[in-house]
């Protein structure tokens, strides 16, 4: 038998297919809206391997999606820009503006028109509103060129807010950036500020305060506080522009303490601004007019001198624009009080023969009834006389006088002390109101807030806690000396 030939075995097949390549992993999530990118070197190496080893069936790596650059910080708030504009600190180099936008010129002009203004001076609101209207007009003229300019729009908003705060009308006179045009010979505030702005006057504009009230108590231009006798007629001020004379009479029979019952004020003629005007007030006759019956001086609508009655028969104000001076006159009880603010250069403009001025040099030593340093409560070198206490303080004791004055004046400064002194020497409660009103006049007219209060311990500092006993004993000595 023949053997069957075996079929030659077929060659083996290619075998099982290799497992599929795993899907390449994606970059990890970073939480920033994109996936972390591998380094640049890794990217380059992967690209080269992908092209050279195509048989390895490796997928080329995807190019990573790069993160966008971080957003720019937000612009500064409008309030900061308004503050910079109001202080004049925003300069042309601080932000890039188109050459044709003139908002910086408008702002510079506004600063130059208002930098010399003082809010404590009569006429401030009028001048400030004029400058604001000029500022608004300048911004309107450059509005097209400044469209889209943040500084411009901030300035427009700031002008609107300031006009609302100052109650400025949109229609009215405007200030000129040319000082020669704005010069008004009958407005001391205006032409003195313009002169200072041009650099013609190296001394800054300064105002002085003087006040008289009570038995009487005097506060001089130098902020010296004195209690004086000065019975009869005495000049408070006598310079080339203004004269003020007071007449004092005894308050209590047998006492050297006096109080003011007559005030005469003379506003001297001043070129084209005003003729000479005389004002006179006496007890129970506090007129709202000068002795010639007029209530103002000067021509035109803006009077260079005028009287304003605040309370009929009790309180009048006089405003002299041409010399930058304000005068308050009050009647409280049977007696008068006076407060004056005047520019220093005018107050000190007088001849040698005019040196007897209580506001300038104080009371003569022979007329003083304090300790020589303005402290009626700290007279030294005197012993307590054997005088009945009822004669010294009719109607009040030291404790009740302190309590009564403290109701009106919680701060125990020299005005509080004067109130106690007046109550103990006169028993007249109207002197409490006089001391309180005198302090209010200081706050209204004195240009330096840090000097409003004068404390008896040193003239500037508050009294020490242990000084109340010495103050009380000193007051007792002071009052009894008045009756000697």
Q: What is the pLDDT of residue 300?
A: 65
Own/partner pairs, 196-203, CB within 8 angstroms, 24+ separation: 196/116, 197/112, 197/115, 197/116, 203/345
The three-point CA angle 478-483-484 to 5° equals 95
pLDDT 10s digits, 424-464: 888 888 999 999 999 999 999 998 889 999 887 544 443 33
Q: What is the pLDDT of residue 278?
A: 97
Q: What is the pLDDT of residue 125?
A: 82
Provide mean pLDDT across the span 81-102.
51
Binned at pLDDT 50, 70 and 90, residue 415 comes out as: very high
pLDDT 10s digits, 343-383: 999 999 988 887 889 999 999 999 998 655 445 544 333 33
pLDDT over 80 at 299, yes or no: no
Comparing 127 with 393, the larger pLDDT belongs to: 127
pLDDT over 60 at 220, yes or no: yes
Q: What is the pLDDT of residue 293?
A: 94
Backbone angles phi, psi at 306, to 5 degrees: -155, 155
Model-level pTM? 0.58
Q: What is the pLDDT of residue 100?
A: 76
Comparing 81 with 202, the larger pLDDT belongs to: 202
Q: What is the DSSP string of 92-138?
A: GGGS---TT--HHHHHHHHHHHHTT--TTSTTHHHHHHHHHHHHHHH
Provide mean pLDDT across the span 14-32.
49
Provide mean pLDDT across the span 92-96.
45
Percentage of the chain beyond pLDDT 70 is: 62
Binned at pLDDT 50, 70 and 90, residue 311 comes out as: very high
Q: What is the pLDDT of residue 387?
A: 35
Q: What is the pLDDT of residue 473?
A: 38
Comparing 239 with 189, the larger pLDDT belongs to: 239
Q: How far apart are CA 340 and CA 343, in angstroms?
A: 10
Q: What is the pLDDT of residue 259?
A: 93
Provide mean pLDDT across the span 297-306.
79
Enumerate the β-bridge partners of residue 208: 342
Residue 43: both structure tokens together? 């990217």
User: What is the average pLDDT value for the chain, to the nearest integer?
Assistant: 74
Q: What is the pLDDT of residue 178?
A: 52
> Which of these ranges, 27-31, 47-51, 330-334, 386-390, has the smallest mean pLDDT?
386-390
5 three-state secondary structure: coil
Binned at pLDDT 50, 70 and 90, residue 253 comes out as: confident
Binned at pLDDT 50, 70 and 90, residue 475 comes out as: very low
Binned at pLDDT 50, 70 and 90, residue 228 comes out as: very high
pLDDT over 50 at 192, yes or no: yes
Longest dimension (CA), the chain: 178
């Amino acid at each position: 038998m023949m053997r069957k030939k075996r079929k030659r075995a077929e060659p083996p097949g290619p075998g099982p297919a290799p497992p599929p390549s795993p899907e390449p992993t994606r970059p990890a999530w970073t939480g920033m809206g994109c996936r972390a990118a591998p380094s640049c070197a890794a990217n380059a190496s992967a690209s080269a391997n992908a092209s050279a080893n195509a048989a390895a069936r490796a997928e080329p790596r995807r190019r990573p999606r790069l993160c966008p650059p971080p957003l720019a910080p937000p612009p500064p708030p409008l309030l900061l820009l308004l503050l910079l504009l109001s202080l004049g600190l925003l300069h042309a180099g601080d932000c890039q503006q188109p050459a044709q936008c003139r908002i910086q010129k408008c702002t510079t002009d506004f600063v130059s028109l208002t930098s010399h203004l003082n809010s404590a001076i009569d006429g401030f609101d009028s001048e400030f509103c004029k400058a604001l209207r000029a500022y608004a007009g300048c911004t309107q003229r450059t509005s097209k060129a400044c469209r889209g300019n943040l500084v411009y729009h901030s300035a427009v908003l700031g002008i609107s807010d300031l006009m609302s705060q100052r109650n400025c009308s949109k229609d009215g006179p405007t200030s000129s950036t040319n000082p020669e045009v704005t010069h008004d010979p009958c407005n001391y505030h205006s032409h003195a500020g313009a002169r200072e702005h041009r650099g013609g006057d190296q001394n800054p504009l300064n105002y002085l305060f003087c006040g008289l009230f009570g038995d009487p108590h005097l506060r001089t231009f130098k902020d010296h506080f004195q209690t004086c006798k000065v019975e009869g007629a005495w000049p408070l001020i006598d310079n080339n522009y203004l004269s003020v004379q007071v007449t004092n009479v005894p308050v209590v029979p047998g006492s050297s303490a006096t109080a003011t019952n007559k005030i005469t004020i003379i506003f001297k003629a001043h070129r084209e601004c005003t003729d000479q005007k005389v004002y006179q007030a006496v007890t129970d006759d506090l007129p709202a007019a000068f002795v010639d019956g007029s209530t103002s001086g000067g021509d035109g609508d803006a009077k260079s001198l005028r009287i304003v009655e605040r309370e009929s028969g009790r309180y009048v104000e006089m405003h002299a624009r041409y010399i930058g001076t304000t005068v308050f006159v009050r009647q409280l009880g049977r007696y008068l009080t006076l407060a004056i603010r005047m520019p220093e250069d005018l107050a000190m403009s007088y001849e040698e023969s005019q040196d007897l001025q209580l506001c300038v040099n104080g009371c003569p030593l022979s007329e003083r009834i304090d300790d020589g340093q303005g402290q009626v409560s700290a007279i030294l070198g005197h012993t307590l006389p054997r005088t009945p206490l009822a004669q010294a303080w009719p109607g009040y004791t030291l404790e009740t006088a302190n309590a009564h004055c403290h109701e009106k004046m919680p701060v125990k400064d020299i005005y509080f002390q004067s109130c106690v002194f007046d109550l103990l020497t006169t028993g007249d409660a109207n002197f409490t109101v006089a001391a309180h009103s005198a302090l209010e006049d200081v706050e209204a007219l004195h240009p330096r807030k840090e000097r409003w209060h004068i404390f008896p311990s040193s003239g500037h500092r508050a009294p020490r806690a242990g000084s109340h006993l010495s103050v009380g004993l000193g007051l007792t000595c002071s009052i009894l000396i008045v009756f000697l």
